[in-house]
Amino acid sequence: MPARLIESLATTEALAELFSDKPVLQALLDFEVALARAQARLGIVPQTAVAAIAAAAQADAFDFPTLSRAMLRAGTPAIPLVKALTERVRSQNVAAAGFVHWGATSQDVADTALVLLLKRAKPILLSDLERLEGALSRLAVQHGKTVMLGRTLLQPAPPVTLGLKAAGWLGAIRRGHQSLEASFARALVVQFGGASGTLASLGEQGAAVGRELALELGLAFPDAPWHTQRDRLAALVCACGVTTGSMGKMARDLSLLMQGEVGEASEPGGDGRGGSSTMPNKRNPIGCALTLAAAERVPGLVATFLSAMVQEHERGVGGWQAEWPTVAAVIQATGLAAASMAEVAEGLGVDPARMRSNIAATHGGIFAERAMMLLGGKVGRDTAHHVLEKATRKSVEEGRPLAAVLSEMPEVTGHLDAAALRSLEVPEQYLGVADEFRERLLSSSERQNTASEKD
């Protein structure tokens, strides 16, 4: 389903659908059905009760506005839901109605429903991250020899390659992906503790019911209920924050490369994408903009979740109630960033000629470090640094190549021959071990992918 208008720049259609009313309500109901089935297998509730509860637990049959208003008054989604479900079961089977929500507490329902939603969000997020990583890997391979300006503090610096830049983006995003997978694995656990986290209402069968419930829902069974221990969810939220930040860094770089006066890269276009309401000439960095917006929002949401971790005793007041919208917003923002940057990377336009032109426009100034190192080997670093400062100023003032200026300075020509000066401004000859780093990043990502496939 399309996102609500106010969230149209904050989520994807798939995630908007996942966190819409019907799937959320169905996740709550799925807990109640799974609980009844688990208890029936252990002989705690009759099988006939399971059939009646399952038949009644269909989200379409409930009045969403009425439930929403009742949830607000109750301070929890579960109390009005259990009441409404019980009434629906009672209308068909009076005896079965007495076994709805048997031995559970409100937070068991709400937490497990959230975990079920996260379980369903996981493949959506990871699929787009895999698309993004695949596209970046291809860019890193294709442009291993494509030279471009390095930029430090937004100023021209010695050359790098687009391949190394793409591999750097890939490395960070892949590490975030790995953290997300690990965090999802830890977070996808059932919540089942009853009133105070002891399952006393089920006597000695409490843990057995919990294991059966987890099995029924396809979740892990934790060592103990986690009503006020929110570290697993916090780790997932933080992993989303880091991964979104890494995608935001890529988006920042690309949006800067798309500036008209730079013109080294461009997002894919298409009908209705990247235009302007007033300027027909514009091709805006829309995917980057959406990703940067997500990267702006998520840190505050992460902080909100971390603040809400400080919960009281066996059941928190306020902290837990802050989590549902916070987690939903974090997951949707992360998913939007992944989908946006995957689209950008898959269709990225690259202009190698403009990259070379921008290198040439520095008049060799970016090779001052190289000249200083060559000269420094003869006269010492401090002396060479002073000579290059003077030469660079003259190059800028006169708009002449640095090598030409150096070739007129006796303190330089006495130590560096004409051949060294002629090759000074060849970018391919001042890339250091850029290609080794690029290959290491690619190799590391390939190893991580292989490990993930084995897992």
Kindly list the domain boundaries of the chain, sorted by start residue. 13-104+200-215, 105-189+226-360+434-455, 365-424
CATH of domain 365-424: 1.10.40.30
Determine whether domain 13-104+200-215 maps to CATH 1.10.8.60: no
Spell 160-173 as b/e; 16+ CB within 10 A means b: bbbbbbbbbbbbbb
Task: Write down the residue that tokens 């409930």 correspond to.
Answer: 62
Distance, CA of 346 to CA of 200 (rounded, Å): 55
Sign of CA dihedral 57, 230, 184, 198: negative
pLDDT at 278: 52
pLDDT at 450: 61
Spell 174-191 as b/e; 16+ CB within 10 A means b: bbbbbbbbebbeebbbbb
Distance, CA of 285 to CA of 279 (rounded, Å): 14
pLDDT at 223: 97
Work out the widest C-alpha separation in the chain, in whole angstroms: 103
Distance, CA of 4 to CA of 6 (rounded, Å): 5
Distance, CA of 189 to CA of 221 (rounded, Å): 6
Residue 395: active-site member: no
Sequential pLDDT tens for the chain (455 residues): 778 888 999 999 999 999 999 999 999 999 999 999 999 999 999 999 999 999 999 999 999 999 999 999 999 999 999 999 999 999 999 999 999 999 999 999 999 999 999 999 999 999 999 999 999 999 999 999 999 999 999 999 999 999 999 999 999 999 999 999 999 999 999 999 999 999 999 999 999 999 999 999 999 999 999 999 999 999 999 999 999 999 999 999 999 999 999 999 999 976 656 554 454 455 789 999 999 999 999 999 999 999 999 999 999 999 999 999 999 999 999 999 999 999 999 999 999 999 999 999 999 999 999 999 999 999 999 999 999 999 999 999 999 999 999 999 999 999 999 999 999 999 999 999 999 999 999 998 666 666 556 55
Q: What angle do CA 351, 353, 355 make, to 5 degrees?
A: 75
Alpha-carbon Rg for the chain, nearest whole angstrom, is 30
Distance, CA of 316 to CA of 103 (rounded, Å): 20
Q: Can you read off the two tokens belonging to residue 150? A: 């390095």
pLDDT at 4: 87
pLDDT at 279: 44
Cβ-in-10-Å burial (0-12, 13-18, 19+) of 413 comes to middle
Residue 315: active-site member: yes
Q: 19 near 328, Cβ under 8 Å?
A: yes
Beta bridge mates, 157:
150
Which is catalytic among the residues 68, 91, 201, 276?
A: 276
Which is catalytic among the residues 151, 273, 315, 400?
A: 315
pLDDT at 276: 47
Determine whether domain 105-189+226-360+434-455 maps to CATH 3.30.70.3000: no
Cβ-in-10-Å burial (0-12, 13-18, 19+) of 79 comes to middle
Q: 190 near 214, Cβ under 8 Å?
A: yes
pLDDT at 280: 47
SS3 sequence of the chain:
CCCCHHHCCCCCHHHHHHCCHHHHHHHHHHHHHHHHHHHHHCCCCCHHHHHHHHHHCCHHHCCHHHHHHHHHHHCCCHHHHHHHHHHHHHCCCHHHHCCCCCCCCHHHHHHHHHHHHHHHHHHHHHHHHHHHHHHHHHHHHHCCCCEEEEEECCEEEEEEEHHHHHHHHHHHHHHHHHHHHHHHHHHCECCCCCCCCCCHHHHHHHHHHHHHHHHHHCCECCCCCCCCCCHHHHHHHHHHHHHHHHHHHHHHHHHHHCCCCCCCEECCCCCCCCCCCCCCCCCCCHHHHHHHHHHHHHHHHHHHHHHHCCCCCCCCCCCHHHHHHHHHHHHHHHHHHHHHHHHHHHCCEECHHHHHHHHHCCCCHHHHHHHHHHHHHHHCHHHHHHHHHHHHHHHHHHCCCHHHHHCCCHHHHCCCCHHHHHCCCCHHHHCCCHHHHHHHHHHHHHHHHHHHHHC
What letter represents residue 175's amino acid? R
What letter represents residue 152's amino acid? T
